[in-house]
Every structure is written in structure tokens, then in C-alpha cells.
A and B are shown apart, each in its own frame.
Chain A
Amino acid sequence: ETGVTQTPRHLVMGMTNKKSLKCEQHLGHNAMYWYKQSAKKPLELMFVYSLEERVENNSVPSRFSPECPNSSHLFLHLHTLQPEDSALYLCASSYGTSGSHNEQFFGPGTRLTVL
């Protein structure tokens, strides 16, 4: 595997379910990100992890819970979601040293549908 991979690619869940999205990067980066992409809206940055520490949490509801066990893996745990949470969830990684402004590399995304 190369680049940034995400599983599953598609997920349908009920509002009472608990599920997790997985992201893995094979680029040797030290920063990882979760974004939400909804129709007709800009990509929304949800969480940033740098060197496995969460450095950004953009007022995301607590029903989304990120986990970064090491610099190559990032999870997004989902529970009691709402239909408006249906979106494409994108993971990205980069060399994330302070002030670097490096480009981020994205995975293919997980298309989430909440019924």
C-alpha cells in the first residue's frame, strides 16, 4: 500500500450504531487530519494530530471521537450520529512541524450515510 488509505470506503449506519473509520498513511508523515466534506460547503477541518498529540479540535460534537495510536494510524469513532452527519470523511497527512505549511496528502475518503 502506498499513500493514504481509508477504510471502509462506504458506510451506512443507524443513529444508534457505533462504528469507526480507519486511516493509515505510508508516507512517513508526522501529522494527520480528519476533514468533513458536505455538499456545497468547503471542506471542514475536524481534528489535527501532530506527533500523536491532538493539536486542533474545531468545535466538533462529542459524538465524533478521534484516536491516534501512532503516527501512521488515525481513527474516527462514531456514535449516536445524526442524519446531518452524512458526508464524505477525508483523512490527510503531512510533515507537520510548526510553521511548515506543508502540503497535505489525502486518502480517498469514507462516504458515510446516517439513516
Chain B
Amino acid sequence: AQKVTQAQTEISVVEKEDVTLDCVYETRDTTYYLFWYKQPPSGELVFLIRRNSFDEQNEISGRYSWNFQKSTSSFNFTITASQVVDSAVYFCALSESQTGANNLFFGTGTRLTVIP
């Protein structure tokens, strides 16, 4: 079974719209970490955020915000007032204590296209 599920394969929005990217994870560990990465057309994955399982406080960074809900095993990512430069593939990832801190389990990614 996949540990990280990103059900949205592709999303298109018009510039300035808000968009939420979903991430659902699966783990039996009580200590785990969740990540979001952005992969622009240039290829490299850009780190966006890391949260640990004991910190359910939502986080906001500029136009980006993250909603961590342990009750639903979700770690959703919202972009407010989207811009063309936000067009990329976004990956959610999980690392667990039981499988080692170096093992990152990635979802299949969501391709976001922001239309001008």
C-alpha cells in the first residue's frame, strides 16, 4: 500500500485563484515527519516545509499555507492568489521512525498549471 496518496494528478486554475493540493498519508508510527516539495520544469525538487507528527499547528508562509490534520491523516497545501510561477509538480512526502530518518516516501505528485 502506498504510504502517501496525492489523488489529484493535475489541477488547472486561473491566476489569482486559490488552490488546495491534497495529501493523505498512512503510517503506524507515532513519530513521523511530513514534507512538501515543488518541482518546477527545471527539474530539481525545492523543499517547502517539514512538519513533525507532534505539531498540528497550521503554518502560513506568504501565499502558502499548510493544514495538518492527524484525525484524517492529511497534510494539505493551499496556495492563495496563485501566480503563473506557481506552475509546477508538487510532491508530498513522509518519513517515519520505524523505516529510518533517511527514507522519504513520496506521493505521485500533483501537476499544477496556473493559467494567466
Interface residues of A (CB under 8 A from B): 4, 31, 33, 40-43, 45, 48, 50, 55-56, 88, 90, 92, 94, 96-109, 111
A41-B108, A42-B108, A101-B52 are known contacts. Are A48 and B47 too (CB-CB below 8 A)?
A: no
Name the interface residues of B52-67: CB closer than 8 Å to any CB of A.
Answer: 52
CB nearest neighbor in A for B5: A42
A-contact 0/1 string along B20-47, CB 8 Å cutoff: 0000000000000101010000111111
Interface residues of B in 79-108 (CB under 8 A from A): 91, 95, 97, 100-108
Least CB distance from A60 to B in Å reads 14
Q: Which B residues are CB-close (under 8 A) to A45?
A: 103-104
Evaluate contact between A55 and B43: CB separation under 8 angstroms. Answer: no
Q: Using a Cβ cutoff of 8 Å, how many contacts connect chains A and B?
A: 63
Can you list 8 A-B contacts with CB-CB less than 8 angstroms, sorted by A residue number? A56-B102, A96-B101, A99-B101, A101-B33, A103-B35, A104-B104, A106-B47, A107-B44
Least Cβ distance of B38 to chain A in Å? 10
Q: How far is the CA of A43 from the CA of B2 in the complex (A)?
A: 12
